[in-house]
Amino acid sequence: MEKHTAKESARDQFVSKAGFIFAAAGSAVGLGNVWRFPYLAGQNGGGAFVLFYLLCVIVIGFGLMLAEFAIGRHTQLSSVNAFRKLDKRFTFVGAMGVLAAFVIMGYYPVVGGWSVAYIFKSLLGQLSTDSQIMGEAFGSLAAGTFSPIFWTAVYLLANIVIVIKGISAGIEKASKVMMPLLFILLIILVIRSLTLPNAIDGLKYLFVPDFSKITGDVMLSALGQAFFSLSLGMGCMITYASYLSKNENLVQNAIIVPLMDTSVALLSGIVIIPATVSFGFDLGQGPGLVFVTVPAIFATMGPVLGRLFGIIFFLLLTLAALTSSLSLLEVVVSYLIDNRKWDRKRAVIISSIVLFIMCILASLSMGPLSGFTIAGLNIFDALDWFANNLLLPVGGIFITLYIGWFWGKDKVKEEVTNGGSVRFAIFEIWIFLCKFVIPVIVTLVLLSGIGII
């Protein structure tokens, strides 16, 4: 693919089918899978959360992803302009997506920064091998003042450099190498984790649902996690699919990407939850979980092997995070380029400065600013909640409503079947999902999670 510039008139396309799948999966697979999924499962009671999450992925994930692919490829425009072109009344959906990307990028790089820090800690042998003090080691990083901000800056800088260069150059290549490696490493870790004493109890916690744990709040967390992990509800996949060629099979892509994403999430859960139980760590500790438990697993592998695995794991986690945050930053940047007529460099630099300030606040809210809360949440958690449990689900409601009620069934069919050449047996079911099922379920979960019903 040629380098993409703002002035270009003809649109880039992904060179190969695999290129698109890896880029879309690269956006989906990120901190959401390895960092957020296990800690939410730990906090929300395990099996019941996981079951509801899987239901959301199957019903909502597939349906909404296909909806976003169809809109993106049809218009060949990024989300704000895509909606503006299709139906002006829906432009706000695109705008809300830009806001969501902005809010997520206001804390995502903080976690990316922790991951970068852990590459260096592993490299220098600074990760304690005494599993009793793992928690303190993470706590002193995250709750620190300068050190986490420094690592956030390093992480954000990597994003800036790649996004200034344009969309295609880096993203496609990086994802192709990283994804299979991450998969292999997770499988090795699954084996190590499951052979720890009492690991089976952790596995039960993760997969045997205890329905008494299901509350509106738990359901909303699972729903928000499905949106976040699949990069849905904000037009990110609209933007990606706008680079997709007219003869790609959208239906197939909308099945493969969630499958890959969910496998990585489940594998991460199977690595982290059983090990956490085996070591006797706190399952409900929140954002530190992966950074506490995974180094403890490595510590059981001996000094040399453990260190080596530590470096590789956090390197891959950082790369997975990068391919995701690139897609988020790209949503913000392409809006500034297309709608505000800024040049790419200016768009990247100015938005990154604002994002960096938000990240500083988010990082400090884990330590010195922890006393400052919004509705009981610190700044970090509040940004996370606002984007994932509110903006993305609301975006998802409107995107599916648009497909189900406004675009016109014939036009939708024309797009998802490539003009009739792709077989899509459950087309009617999918339309039904978009018309009723998805908007209704998401609305109900949203209302019950907020405490209204």
> Which parts of this chain interact with ligand TRP (CB under 6 A)?
27-28, 30-33, 104, 228-229, 231, 234, 236, 324, 327-328, 392
Closest to ligand TRP by CB, 151 or 228: 228
Closest to ligand TRP by CB, 43 or 159: 159
Closest to ligand TRP by CB, 46 or 61: 61
Residue nearest to ligand TRP (CB): 32
Q: What region does 222 belong to: left with phi over 0, alpha with psi -120 to 50, or beta? A: alpha
**Residue 277 exposed, middle or buried by CB count within 10 Å (0-12, 13-18, 19+):** buried
Closest to ligand TRP by CB, 105 or 441: 105
- Least CB distance from residue 419 to ligand TRP, whole Å? 29
On whether the CB atoms of residues 105 and 328 are closer than 8 A, the answer is yes
Closest to ligand TRP by CB, 292 or 391: 391
On whether the CB atoms of residues 321 and 116 are closer than 8 A, the answer is no
Non-local CB neighbours of 1 within 8 Å, separated by 6+ positions: 12, 13, 14, 15, 19, 168, 169, 172
- Least CB distance from residue 290 to ligand TRP, whole Å? 12
On the CB side of 368, how many CA atoms lie within 13 Å of its CA?
A: 10
- Least CB distance from residue 359 to ligand TRP, whole Å? 15
Closest to ligand TRP by CB, 43 or 229: 229
Alpha-carbon span 97 to 106, nearest angstrom:
14
Closest to ligand TRP by CB, 44 or 389: 389
- Least CB distance from residue 131 to ligand TRP, whole Å? 27
Q: How many CB atoms lie within 10 A of CB 143?
A: 17
Alpha-carbon span 43 to 273, nearest angstrom:
11
- Least CB distance from residue 261 to ligand TRP, whole Å? 7
Alpha-carbon span 232 to 261, nearest angstrom:
12
Q: How many CB atoms lie within 10 A of CB 174?
A: 19
In which element (H, E) is residue 185 found? helix 167-194
Closest to ligand TRP by CB, 159 or 278: 159
Alpha-carbon span 127 to 133, nearest angstrom:
10
Closest to ligand TRP by CB, 108 or 424: 108
SS3 state of residue 415 = helix
Closest to ligand TRP by CB, 54 or 422: 54
Closest to ligand TRP by CB, 221 or 324: 324
Q: Tokens at residue 132, please? A: 């009793």
Residue 374 phi/psi, 5° resolution? -120, 120
On the CB side of 303, how many CA atoms lie within 13 Å of its CA?
A: 3
- Least CB distance from residue 368 to ligand TRP, whole Å? 27
Q: How many CB atoms lie within 10 A of CB 109?
A: 33
> What is the DSSP pairing of strand 377-378 with strand 373-374?
antiparallel
Of the candidates 321, 5, 20, which has an alpha carbon nearest to the alpha carbon of residue 155? 321
- Least CB distance from residue 38 to ligand TRP, whole Å? 12
- Least CB distance from residue 27 to ligand TRP, whole Å? 5
Of the candidates 263, 252, 322, which has an alpha carbon nearest to the alpha carbon of residue 69? 252
- Least CB distance from residue 330 to ligand TRP, whole Å? 9
- Least CB distance from residue 137 to ligand TRP, whole Å? 24
Closest to ligand TRP by CB, 108 or 407: 108
SS3 state of residue 131 = helix
In which element (H, E) is residue 94 found? helix 91-104
**Residue 312 exposed, middle or buried by CB count within 10 Å (0-12, 13-18, 19+):** middle
- Least CB distance from residue 234 to ligand TRP, whole Å? 5
- Least CB distance from residue 52 to ligand TRP, whole Å? 18
Count, in order, helices (H) and strands (E) of the chain. 23, 2
On whether the CB atoms of residues 38 and 268 are closer than 8 A, the answer is yes
